[in-house]
Chains A and B, each alone.
Chain A
Amino acid sequence: MRRLDLKRSLYKIFIVLIVVGFLFAVLERVGAMDPIKGPVQQVTIPIQIGLFQVRNNISNFFQTLTEVGDLRNKNLQLEEENALLKAENQKLKELSKENQALREQIGASIEGKQGLLVAKTIGFSPIVSKKLLIIDKGKLEGVEKGMVVVVRNIFIGRIYEVSPHSSSIQLVSDPDTKIAAITDKNIRGIVSGQFGAEIELREVVQGKSLNPGDLVFTIGGSDIPRGLVIGEIKEVKKVERELFQRATVKPLIEQDKLSNIFILIDK
């Protein structure tokens, strides 16, 4: 009899907690929880940074151990690629100078209206089906929902949730991400995340020729600058009877192991 009462009261307690939770959810939405969360985050964020770095170091150590056999071949390949890129870089520098001179001549505005805010990664979202990365900069440092996150000219994602001293980035690999994209051969499509950290280029018309190794860029719009690199095509999935073809896109950097990222903020 007593056990039955206890169970009934347990149900009641959890229902009360649901109602209380709803009130707190509304309070947090209007920013009423910030005075509590802010000071606590100031204490916890340095701990998170430290722990996340330790975790990354351990993970890198074990990854290096497993990959040591391939490293020699990879090194030779990279040296060769490096030489080619140096030559290409020199050519691009010359073109950039020429471009700058032309812009000055016609009085066009130069890209870079936006400033960059550096942030450190401090953890992952506990929601397995979402691909979110947590960083140590938030509302009080000027971060806003929807801001674009990059590393050099590589698109990482957009700010998804903001706290006083911390934010979450919705990575390109998140299943809810949908971005208009274009390849280096001017083929348009939609990039979206898949379950399990994969990225896919979809809705590409069948006649267009997608090839592994093609780079995929942002097309611009929805506050995302044009020309940010999303990744390179790894595998093309073409089914003749389907209207569109698809391709798996591999990010140029491992998003799980990023330690510093840059947020594009309005100056």
Chain B
Amino acid sequence: MTNVLLVLIASFLGLIQTVVLPINFALLLILILVSANRIQAGLVVTIAGSFFLSIFTNINFGILLISFSLSLIIYLIIRKYTPDRVIFRYTTFVSVLIIWEILFQFSNRVFESFL
């Protein structure tokens, strides 16, 4: 039941990202879940978020999944070297949201050159 709810939330976040404001709300939710050690929920939103964003925007689902995963790896690395304080946590969230776009472009270019 919780997973179904998470999938619905991920789809809603993808929708408002494409219609209202271009902020990656799904990634923000994943970061919040991972930082709260809710790993399973984070994984569900990662997959559902990538899938629905791909449905709403025609972006390749696989590339989105790769960019989300890379962002989370970057997040884990940054967290490893920063103190566990609220201000650092929020700064990391914002940094990862900005870095996500660069990682997406990078993944896309690497994939295109591979093909």
Residues of A within 8 A of B (CB): 6-7, 10-11, 13-15, 17-18, 20-29, 33, 37, 40-41, 44, 47-48, 51-52, 55, 122-129, 132, 134, 138, 161-163, 166-168
Contacts and interface: CB of A to CB of B under 8 A. Distances in A.
Given A25-B66, A134-B57, A17 B15 contact: no
Contacts of B50: 21
Interface in B1-60: 11, 15, 17-20, 22, 24, 34, 37, 39, 43, 46-47, 50, 52-60
Given A123-B57, A134-B56, A21 B65 contact: yes
B73 interface: yes
A7 B76 contact: yes
Contacts of A6: 37, 39
B4 to A, nearest CB: 16
A168 B65 CA distance: 19
Given A24-B65, A122-B19, 12 more contacts: A14-B72, A21-B63, A24-B62, A28-B61, A28-B62, A44-B15, A51-B19, A52-B19, A126-B57, A127-B105, A128-B22, A168-B57
Contact of B62 (A15, A21, A168): A21
A37 B54 CA distance: 9
Contact of A25 (B20, B63, B80): B63
13 contacts: A7-B76, A17-B65, A18-B69, A21-B63, A25-B60, A27-B62, A28-B54, A52-B19, A55-B20, A123-B57, A126-B24, A126-B53, A128-B101
B34 to A, nearest CB: 7
B58 A167 contact: yes
A127 B27 CA distance: 13
Q: How large is the interface on B (under 10, 10 to 19, 20 to 34, 35 or more residues)?
A: 35 or more
A123 to B, nearest CB: 4
Interface of B: 11, 15, 17-20, 22, 24, 34, 37, 39, 43, 46-47, 50, 52-66, 68-70, 72-73, 76, 80, 101, 104-105, 111, 115
B69 A44 contact: no
A124 B61 contact: no
B93 to A, nearest CB: 17
Contacts of A26: 62
Contacts of A48: 15, 18-19, 56
Contacts of B72: 10, 14
